[in-house]
Amino acid sequence: MDYHTAAQLRRHHPAWKLLQAQHAPLTISFLDEVFIQPNERSLSESHLQARLEDRLFNLRETEGEDAFPQTAAHYLNDWADNDKGWLRKFYPANSDEAHFDLTPAAEKVIQWLNSLIERQFVGTESRLKTVFDLLQQMLEGVETDKQTRLNDLQRRKAEIEDEIARVESGDIEIMEETAVRERFQQLSTTARELLSDFREVEQNFRQLDRQAREQITTWEGRKGELLDEIFGERDAIADSDQGRTFRAFWDFLMSPTRQQQLTEGLEQVLSLEAVQQMAPDPRIKRVHYDWLEAGEQTQRTVARLSAQLRRFLDDQAFLENKRIMQLIQSAETHAIALRGDPLDGTWMTLESPKADINLPMERPLFSPPLRPVLETSVATGDETDVDPQALFNQVVVDKARLQSAIARELRHSSQVTLADVISNHPLQVGLAELVSYLSLAGDDPRASFDETQPQTIEWQDDDGTRRHARAPLVLFTRARS
C-alpha cells in the first residue's frame, strides 16, 4: 500500500467515504441492524423507510430535533447515490416498488468496526490448528511421489487405529469447554464471511452485466466482435480463482448429503452446554439455507446477463431484416419512378454480349399426362378386429399423486432430488409423468434446477422396454418451519 494508492482510495472508495460521513454512526448502525444481523439480501423501500423513521424519531428525542433534519426517504436515496455507494437501489422483476440491498463496501466497514469491539476471549488454538491443516492439505495436494503419499496414508492409518484402540479401552478424550467455544466462535465468523463473499461475487457479475448493457447500447460494429468481447470478460470471471472456488462451493452445497450433514451437525453443536452459554445467534442453525439463497441470487444475476445477450441478438436480427426491406422498397420505388420516363442514351451495358441461341433438340419431348383411374365402388373392410375402446385410452397423469410422493420423501429429508423420488416411486405412465414432475418443479418456488449436473432417469414401459431420459438436476426443498 503506497501513498498514491491510499490517496486514491480515500477519494473514491465507498468504504472510506462511509467512515468519513457526517452521519456515519447512524448509517452504520442502521444498516447493520436491518441487513447484517437478520441476514437480509434485499428490503423494500416502504419497509426501510418505516424502520428508519422509527430510528430517527428515537434519536431526535435524545440528540435533539436538529441532529437529523432530513426525512428517511432522503437519507435512503442519499446512501444509494452513485457518489456514496453504500446501498444499491433497484426494481425487482414484476415489481413497481424500489428495493435496497447492502453493497460489499458498506458490509466490509461494518465487519471491520465489529472487529474493533473487545471480545470476551481471543481464540488462538483453533486458528493455529487450521494453519497446520491448510499447510498439510497443500503439501499433500501437490505431492507427486507415489511412495511419499503411501507413507503418509500409512502413518494416518496407524494414528486412526491407535485412536480406535484407546476408545475401545475406554480412554476417550473430551474437548474442553473453552476449546468448544473457541471453535464455535470461529465457525460463526467464517459462516458470516461466506455470506459477505456472496455479495462481492454477485456485484462482480452485476458489474459485468452493466458493462454489457452499455456496450450493447453504444456498439456500432459487428455483433460477432461484441459477443467475443463480452464472452471473454464472462469467461475471465468464471475462470478466475474467485469464479472457480465459487463454482466448487456451489457444487458442494448442492449435494443433499452435505445439506443433511450440515443440518444434523449444527443441531448437535447448538445443543452443547458450552455453546449455549455463549447465547449463540439462532440464525446460525439455518446458515446453510442462507448460503443457498445467496447463491441462487448470484446465479440469477448470471442468468440475466444471458437473457440480455439473447435480446441483443433478437434486436440485431430485426434491425438487419428491417434494413433489407428498406433497401428493397427503395429499389422498387426508383424502378416505378423511371418506368414512365426512360433515360436517354446508353444507360446499361453488358460486359459479355452473346447471341441467344436455342437448339431444337434442347426442347423436351411431349409426354402425355397420366390419367387417374377412379374406382366406382368402395370396399368395406373387416371390422371384427377393431376395438373402439382404443379411442378412449388416453394417458392421464395425476399430479396430486406426484405431489404426494414428493411430500412423503421430504418428510425424511430436508432436500431430495427428482431422481430419488422416481427411484422410490417408479413412473407409471412413462415420459408424460416425468414431464409432469418437471412442471411441478417449475411451479414450486422452493425447487431449484442445476443444468450443470444432468441426471439419467430410467423407467420401464408396459411392454418391458427400458427407457432413459437425461434431465437437469432438480432439487426439492422442504418448507422452512
CB-based contacts of 229, cutoff 8 Å, min separation 6: 215
How far is 64 from 149, CA to CA, in rounded Å?
Answer: 70
How far is 260 from 477, CA to CA, in rounded Å?
Answer: 12
Environment class of 472 (CB within 10 Å of its CB; exposed 0-12, middle 13-18, buried 19+): middle
pLDDT tens for 64-82 read: 888 888 898 999 989 988 8
Assess whether pLDDT exceeds 70 at residue 317: no
pLDDT of residue 389: 63
Which pairing describes strands 448-460 and 415-417: parallel, antiparallel, or unpaired? Answer: unpaired
Question: What is the average per-residue pLDDT within 396-422?
Answer: 84
Q: Could you tell me if residue 39 is left (phi over 0), alpha (psi between -120 and 50 degrees) or otherwise beta?
A: left
Question: What is the average per-residue pLDDT within 84-95?
Answer: 83
pLDDT of residue 141: 76
Which pairing describes strands 99-102 and 87-90: parallel, antiparallel, or unpaired? Answer: antiparallel
Lookup: cell for 183: 471453535
CB-based contacts of 275, cutoff 8 Å, min separation 6: 180, 181, 184, 269
Closest residue by Cα to residue 474 from 256, 303, 249, 299: 256
Mean pLDDT of the chain: 77
Question: Crossing angle of helices 125-142/177-218, nearest 10°?
Answer: 60
Question: What is the average per-residue pLDDT within 348-367?
Answer: 73
pLDDT of residue 192: 73
Question: What is the average per-residue pLDDT within 133-162?
Answer: 81
pLDDT of residue 8: 86
Assess whether pLDDT exceeds 80 at residue 59: yes
Question: Crossing angle of helices 223-238/241-253, nearest 10°?
Answer: 70
| Confidence tier at 446 by pLDDT (50, 70, 90) | confident
| Confidence tier at 328 by pLDDT (50, 70, 90) | confident
pLDDT of residue 153: 85
Residue, of 242 and 58, whose pLDDT is higher: 58
Assess whether pLDDT exceeds 70 at residue 353: no
Q: In 10 A of CB 208, how many CB atoms?
A: 18
Check: CB of residue 429 under 8 Å from CB of residue 395: yes
How far is 232 from 270, CA to CA, in rounded Å?
Answer: 46
Residue, of 481 and 356, whose pLDDT is higher: 356
pLDDT tens for 243-266 read: 676 667 767 766 777 777 777 787
Residue type, 157: K
Assess whether pLDDT exceeds 70 at residue 459: yes
Which domains does the chain possess?
A: 3-115 (1.10.10), 192-332 (no CATH), 397-477 (no CATH)
